[in-house]
């Protein structure tokens, strides 16, 4: 049992929970009546800890700025410290005389090892370290099948999740916080240089997003008012985008899944039951990804199905580069990759199309795709990104059947029929009529001329033939059966 000195401060360690509302660790600290120290640690030094991708760093900068401001209004300074978390926290503990630390749990293997080590260090000194669940609606270790194993298939996981319905009401933001008096030093955001310079590629991202708790709430409100009602039918079309676009806010914990779950079933917003259920299922997909990550810690590095360990991935840096830069010659693929580059985000339907293209058409290792997404996505999530790449690659849990190879022309025609999406992100094709937009290489010469397109010059020819690539992939997949 730990002693508790009411005058000794409590450290609130912010991580993937950059918010004041529905923050269990913060809530607990405030309720304890102890003086509060708020800290965020930029840890790029502990072993096996995932380092933020470039787009996430942009987001993190702005999100921390918002959190810092919100805490300042409550007279609390957000300390910014850089270094291996265990050493940083230990120094902070000594400098401030804190006898307690609280945080909301995270689920990557390296991150959990750091947390366990800090917990132990506090316990060894008779001090208190308490963790809470703030990132997920369920604990990944707690949801179990009838036989006590973890779920590997989504649908039964979903059934179990909905049956248990353990979702709690969100906690309020603290009205006031008792700040701790201390002399601990803090870095500034500028010191961390999280924003891109020379070149500053953040213009498109800046225009698209408003990081921070307030931005998250606004995004949610817009979604509930405008798009929840037709979510089930509209969410699959990338242009115009009718998804919630809450993923980066969730990734940084600016809004809690409990808050979203409650909003999803709140009768104040008009929606059919089906629309609510479809959106709820998306929220639970995120939970499922964390369930997989927790129970299979190598999710980001190793094939979930180890029979893929012998798969003949191709090394092809030039093909990878064409995919990354949106120069494959398949308009829907290129539109997606350019949306990613410009805005730090890609519509989910298009993520599947470009993922399938990289893995099946180009036969490039899904880990290359995961890495690129991780660097470019503002919502790059250690669980969702890895689980989804494994899913599309067919290496994952509940994998797509091997013969499910997306046809970019067909997908484009079905989900971007009027070409709104392709025209926005591949403007060099904008003047092409709808019927040729997803197959410019089949357009009559005159149509190309009229549209000002010279294939191979102003827009590339397809880098691979669909039929050939499909057969190659099927053959390779056949070889590892």
Min CB(235)–DNA separation in Å:
9
What are the residues whose beta carbons fall under 8 Å from the beta carbon of 120, sequence distance 6 or more? none
Question: Which member of 285, 323, 341, 372 is catalytic?
Answer: 285
Min CB(444)–DNA separation in Å:
17
Question: Which member of 192, 201, 269, 313 is catalytic?
Answer: 313
Task: Pick the closer one to DNA by CB: 14 or 421.
Answer: 421
313 labelled catalytic:
yes
201 labelled catalytic:
no
Min CB(290)–DNA separation in Å:
13
Contact 381, 111 (CB under 8 A): no
Beta bridge partners, 80, equal 40
Min CB(137)–DNA separation in Å:
16
389 labelled catalytic:
yes
Question: Which member of 201, 208, 269, 348 is catalytic?
Answer: 348
Contact 290, 140 (CB under 8 A): yes
* Structure-token match 């787009």, residue found: 55
232 labelled catalytic:
no
Task: Pick the closer one to DNA by CB: 210 or 439.
Answer: 439
Question: Which member of 208, 272, 282, 428 is catalytic?
Answer: 282
Question: Which member of 366, 372, 374, 391 is catalytic?
Answer: 366
Contact 421, 333 (CB under 8 A): no
Q: How far apart are CA 460 and CA 454, in angstroms?
A: 9
Min CB(280)–DNA separation in Å:
12
Q: Which two tokens stand for residue 36?
A: 């509060």
Task: Pick the closer one to DNA by CB: 98 or 350.
Answer: 350
Question: Which member of 261, 389, 391, 407 is catalytic?
Answer: 389
Task: Pick the closer one to DNA by CB: 171 or 346.
Answer: 346
Q: Which two tokens stand for residue 93?
A: 């503990």
Task: Pick the closer one to DNA by CB: 155 or 222.
Answer: 155
Q: Quick one: which of 4, 14, 17 has its CA closest to 251?
A: 17
Q: Which residues bind DNA (CB under 7 A)?
A: 145-147, 149-157, 159-160, 236, 281-282, 285, 348-349, 352, 388, 391-392, 398, 400-407, 410-411, 414, 466-467, 470
What does 351-408 look like in DSSP terms, one character per residue?
HHHHHHIIIIIS---HHHHHHHHHHH-TT--TTHHHHHHHHHHT-STTPPPTT----H
285 labelled catalytic:
yes
Min CB(477)–DNA separation in Å:
8
Min CB(4)–DNA separation in Å:
41
Task: Pick the closer one to DNA by CB: 4 or 155.
Answer: 155
CA-to-CA dists, residue 241 to 209, 269, 331, angstroms: 14, 19, 18
Helix (H) or strand (E) holding 240: none
DSSP 8-state code for residue 317: H
Q: Quick one: which of 357, 418, 420, 367 has its CA closest to 389?
A: 367
Q: What stretches of 54-172 adopt beta strand conformation (E)?
A: 78-82, 100-104, 128-132
What does 258-279 look like in DSSP terms, one character per residue?
HHHHHHHT-TTS---HHHHHHH
Contact 29, 12 (CB under 8 A): yes
Task: Pick the closer one to DNA by CB: 301 or 471.
Answer: 471
Catalytic residues: 282, 285, 313, 348, 366, 389
């Amino acid at each position: 049992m730990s002693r508790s000195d009411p005058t000794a401060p409590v450290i609130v360690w912010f991580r993937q929970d950059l918010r004041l509302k529905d923050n269990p660790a913060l809530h607990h600290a405030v309720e304890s009546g102890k003086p509060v120290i708020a800290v965020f640690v930029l840890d790029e030094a502990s072993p096996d800890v995932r380092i933020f991708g470039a787009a996430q760093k942009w987001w993190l900068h702005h999100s921390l700025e918002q959190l810092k401001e919100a805490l300042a209004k409550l007279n609390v300074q957000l300390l910014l410290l850089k270094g291996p978390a265990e050493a940083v926290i230990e120094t902070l503990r000594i400098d401030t005389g804190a006898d307690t630390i609280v945080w909301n749990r995270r689920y990557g293997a390296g991150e959990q090892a750091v947390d366990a080590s800090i917990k132990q260090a506090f316990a060894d000194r008779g001090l208190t370290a308490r963790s809470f669940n703030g990132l997920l609606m369920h604990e990944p270790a707690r949801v179990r099948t009838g036989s006590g194993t973890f779920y590997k298939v989504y649908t039964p996981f979903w059934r179990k999740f909905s049956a248990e319905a353990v979702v709690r009401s969100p906690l309020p933001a603290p009205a006031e916080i008792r700040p701790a008096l201390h002399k601990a030093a803090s870095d500034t955001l500028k010191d961390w240089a999280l924003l891109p310079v020379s070149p500053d590629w953040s213009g498109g991202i800046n225009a698209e997003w408003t990081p921070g708790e307030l931005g998250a709430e606004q995004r949610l409100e817009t979604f509930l008012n405008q798009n929840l009602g037709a979510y089930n039918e509209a969410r699959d079309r990338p242009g115009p985008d009718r998804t919630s676009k809450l993923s980066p806010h969730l990734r940084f914990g600016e809004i809690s899944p409990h808050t979203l779950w409650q909003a999803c079933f709140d009768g104040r917003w008009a929606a059919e039951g089906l629309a609510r259920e479809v959106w709820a299922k998306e929220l639970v997909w995120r939970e499922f990804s964390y369930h997989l990550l927790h129970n299979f810690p190598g999710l980001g590095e190793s094939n979930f199905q180890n029979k893929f360990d012998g798969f003949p991935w191709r090394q092809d840096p030039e093909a990878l580069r064409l995919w990354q830069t949106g120069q494959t010659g398949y308009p829907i693929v290129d539109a997606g990759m350019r949306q990613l580059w410009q805005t730090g985000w890609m519509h989910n339907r298009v993520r599947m199309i470009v993922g399938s293209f990289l893995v099946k058409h180009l036969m490039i290792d899904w880990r290359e795709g995961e890495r690129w997404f991780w660097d470019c996505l503002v919502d790059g999530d250690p669980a969702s990104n890895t689980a989804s790449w494994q899913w599309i690659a067919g290496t994952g849990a509940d994998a797509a059947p091997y013969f499910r190879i997306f046809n970019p022309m067909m997908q484009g025609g079905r989900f971007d029929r009027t070409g709104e999406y392709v025209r926005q992100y591949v403007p060099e094709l904008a003047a092409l009529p709808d019927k040729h937009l997803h197959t410019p290489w089949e357009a009559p010469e005159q149509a190309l001329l009229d549209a000002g397109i010279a294939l191979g010059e102003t827009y590339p020819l397809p880098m691979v033939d669909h039929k050939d690539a499909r057969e190659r992939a099927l053959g390779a997949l056949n070889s590892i059966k």
